[in-house]
Amino acid sequence: MKRKRYIPRPLPGGAARPFETAEEAWFWFIRAHKARRDGRRFEAGGGMVRPCEADDVYLAALTLVRAGVLRLLHLRTLLDFGVRERAPDARVGDEAQAARLWDEALDRMATVLRRKGILA
């Protein structure tokens, strides 16, 4: 049987621009995931090069869950509101706890993403 060769995908030319916030990175991952699920090719928008693959953002969150820093409830909140493409509003009674979980999760993710060079 022929061996598979793994060749890294070349990045487009230009300097990579890190994200400003963990929330911006999370929504970028969600848009990329939706595009992949729908069978479309995801373009970062305007030919902007990012310092990571979209899955790197999700893997950072998953690593924090496995390490016990985040709970599954944090991840579920990130996914639920990420799909809605909006952050939970703490002023809305039903979303107050989700807003707290959202802020906690993104705060903890920001440390990891900054260390990896994904955040500015």
pLDDT number for residue 79: 95
Residue type, 57: V
Give the integer Cα–Cα distance in Å for 71 and 20: 24
Strands (E), 1-120: none
Give the integer Cα–Cα distance in Å for 120 and 118: 7
pLDDT number for residue 61: 94
* Residue ranges covered by each domain of the chain: 22-39+52-115
pLDDT tens digits in sequence order for the chain, 120 residues long: 567 666 555 555 567 788 999 999 999 999 999 988 888 776 654 466 788 888 899 999 999 999 999 999 999 999 999 999 999 999 988 999 999 999 999 999 999 999 999 998
